[in-house]
Structure 1
Amino acid sequence: MDPRNRLDAEAAALCHHLAGTAFPWDITRALELALLKTFCLPSISALLSRTGEFEQRPRKRYDDTGLMVAELLRHGPDSPDGLAVIQRLNRIHGHYAIANADFLYVLSGFVAEPIRWLEHYGWRPLTAGEQQALFRFWRHVGERMGITGLPASLEQLLALNNRVEASLFAAAACNRRVADATLAMLLADWPSGLRPPLAVLLRGGLGLALRARSRLVNGWQRLHPPRRSRFYSERPTPSYGRHFQLEQLGPPPLLEGLNQARWSGQQRRIGLTGGIASGKSTVGRLLEARGLPVLDADLYAREALAPGSPGAQAVRERYGERLGGEGPEAIDRATLGRIVFADQAERRWLEQLVHPLVRQRFEAELKRWAAAPVVVLMVPLLFEAGLEGLCSEVWLVDCAAEHQLRRLMARDGLPETEARDRIAAQWPLERKRALADLVLDNRGPAEALHEQLTAALAGGAGDRPAQPS
């Protein structure tokens, strides 16, 4: 790993000490409050309510979040354990349409709330150096998660946090549903008759109790400085007991896909992906010219909707004459694209129809090419479709956002608004970068891309021609 892309050692050590030794109880509470406040943003609470995770499994959702945050602070975001947590977070988040602005606000709360909490309720406030370390830590996590527009300074991040809370917090039914489910979970261990007065106490007298605790703990901590770590992930949790595995964390409907192992056979299987119009086809042609078999998901998707196919029949039954096309069985793909890119529910329906058919074609072609030393799987929606398990490594073709937009508009003859909608329908390139094993920069001249491919294939069987079985 490039040391320039690592968190500085001082920030990593300070945050480990603050969260694990100096203020484990306080920082856990502050981060809980930061997440609770996100429910005041209807854009976030509406999504959380739609997933059903808070209403159906609030305890698991609470523990999963606490454990992953604690593991980041305990091990550091650049450690193997920390990187595994970030990768899992990215894969979970990738299944939902989360705006970058919402990611920014959540991240800002992980810095702002510990600072505020410890100033009001901690046995001492954070020093200026500790606040800066907290900022550098979470900003680095944001970079690893592919969040864009990250504030360059602590002051800018705190201003963003205040601005969102002042201008975008709003009452909404979805806020209340998620907050009520969380409060019910927190009070679940108390007798039912005591829950209403406890809820009132939480709203009314909590501040006084916390300030009293602060004064008591202040004196104790000065006489007996804490020495051992007490991270949330080092303590038993109601969901998992004393021990947990990262593979257990995440929404249950997603666990099978999240835990899918990469291909580990003798054949080198390169998953080639990227955003729409980022240059995947160009890279695919360059690899074909080197003698590598390139299996194209777009070709298989077109076959899945070919005239007379079961897929085409299902699409026709759903959309009828809206599709046009030459002949009663043909589908006008441009019209279909406008339908599904304008409606997320329709896009999901089409993906659930096509993705399994594409996977079947890949599995059949991989059997046919079983003797090839290297095979390339060119899949635009590799992460979205959960096809990483077919690959031993993932290469991402990356480009500048403005180039991607111009290429798409020119290639498909789309107006800017439609082109932006199609780009937004896929996971952003920033998030895919965090999941890829190798990033191919397609911003420069063709010669530079050739050099990157040569380096990427070095040590493998990339230049040997292959034949299907």
Structure 2
Amino acid sequence: MTRPLIIGLTGSIGMGKSTVAAMFEAAGVPVFDADAEVRAMQGPGGELVPQIEAAFPGSTGPDGVKRDDLGAQVFGDKDALARLESIVHPAVARKREAFLIEHAGAPMVVFDIPLLFEKGGAQAVDRVVVVSAPAEAQRRRVLARPGMTEEKFAHILSLQVPDIDKRARADHIIDTGTSIEETETEVIDLIAQLKRIRIGR
């Protein structure tokens, strides 16, 4: 039985990954957004809220998980973080399986995974697409975000595989250092290329 070609979409902070994911979606490619699934499961009435409250008392409220309170309970505590991940990761895996079943007939699907290399998810996809831009464009975008500081930016970068390494490990690179129109053309061309790869499998 043929299954969709699974594309792992990743990129460091401020590289334009969400924009590129939206372009894939607009072109008719189903996109699984792991972060969005987690937000939904931890939001008001979310299915993970009771489990998280049981494991981390006081970390949830009527609006779901209180991110700052939960963050304070797990920050710098490897055991607490592992406990949280043991709740979240299997739930995301179940959502991903359901997504694949739902889109079994599609030529390809995209898994939008920010920490694809950092968390070792590259083995679970057929092709890796890295979204990248020049470092100065990345810095400008990230520092324009509300509440972002040079220190926070440096800390986030220290936790991520460097862009140069991601590019080296990518099957395909989408450059967002250009105009939106040029990036969109790149995405459309890549989709056509990936469809040919799938046919050739």
TM-score between both structures, scaled by the size of structure 2: 0.79
Work out whether 1:287 is the aligned partner of 2:20.
no
Mapped partners of 1:419, 1:335: distance in 2:
21
Task: Provide the aligned length of Structure 1 versus Structure 2.
Answer: 195
Q: Structure 1 residues 330 and 266, CA, compared in 2 at 3 Å: closer, same or farther? A: closer
Superimposed CA distance per residue, residues 316-336 of structure 1 (whole angstroms, 9 cap, x where no aligned partner): 345433x4x652x72223554
Q: Structure 1 residues 416 and 332, CA, compared in 2 at 3 Å: closer, same or farther? A: farther
Shift of 1:273: 0.8
Match of 1:296 among 9, 19, 33: 33
What is the match of residue 330 of structure 1?
Answer: 64
Letter in 1 for 2:22: R
Mapped partners of 1:373, 1:297: distance in 2:
20
What is the match of residue 377 of structure 1?
Answer: 111
Superimposed CA distance per residue, residues 139-176 of structure 1 (whole angstroms, 9 cap, x where no aligned partner): xxxxxxxxxxxxxxxxxxxxxxxxxxxxxxxxxxxxxx
Shift of 1:305: 2.1
Q: Which has the higher helix share?
A: 1
Larger Rg: 1
Shift of 1:413: 2.4
Mapped partners of 1:425, 1:311: distance in 2:
26
What is the match of residue 52 of structure 2?
Answer: 315
Mapped partners of 2:134, 2:66: distance in 1:
30
Report 1 or 2 for greater relative contact order, CA contacts < 8 Å, sequence distance ≥ 6: 2
Mapped partners of 1:369, 1:300: distance in 2:
16
Match of 1:443 among 174, 177, 194: 177
Match of 2:131 among 355, 376, 397: 397
What is the match of residue 267 of structure 1?
Answer: 4
Matched ranges for 1:49-198 at <5 A: none
Shift of 1:392: 1.4
Mapped partners of 1:344, 1:395: distance in 2:
32
Superimposed CA distance per residue, residues 18-40 of structure 1 (whole angstroms, 9 cap, x where no aligned partner): xxxxxxxxxxxxxxxxxxxxxxx
Letter in 1 for 2:19: T
Match of 1:458 among 192, 196, 200: 192
Unpaired runs of 5+ in structure 2?
197-201
Shift of 1:308: 4.9
SS at match of 1:276: coil
Q: Structure 1 residues 353 and 429, CA, compared in 2 at 3 Å: closer, same or farther? A: farther
Question: In 1, are the aligned partners of 2:27 and 2:188 still within 8 Å (CA)?
Answer: no
Shift of 1:455: 2.7
Question: In 2, are the aligned partners of 1:395 and 1:439 still within 8 Å (CA)?
Answer: yes
Mapped partners of 2:82, 2:151: distance in 1:
20
Shift of 1:442: 1.6
Work out whether 1:343 is the aligned partner of 2:80.
no
Mapped partners of 2:81, 2:168: distance in 1:
25
Superimposed CA distance per residue, residues 190-210 of structure 1 (whole angstroms, 9 cap, x where no aligned partner): xxxxxxxxxxxxxxxxxxxxx
Shift of 1:399: 2.2
Question: In 1, are the aligned partners of 2:41 and 2:48 still within 8 Å (CA)?
Answer: yes
What is the match of residue 93 of structure 1?
Answer: none
Question: In 2, are the aligned partners of 1:394 and 1:437 still within 8 Å (CA)?
Answer: yes
Work out whether 1:278 is the aligned partner of 2:15.
yes
Mapped partners of 1:415, 1:338: distance in 2:
19
Question: In 2, are the aligned partners of 1:399 and 1:442 still within 8 Å (CA)?
Answer: yes
TM-score between both structures, scaled by the size of structure 1: 0.37
Letter in 2 for 1:273: T
Match of 1:358 among 92, 106, 113: 92
Shift of 1:443: 1.6
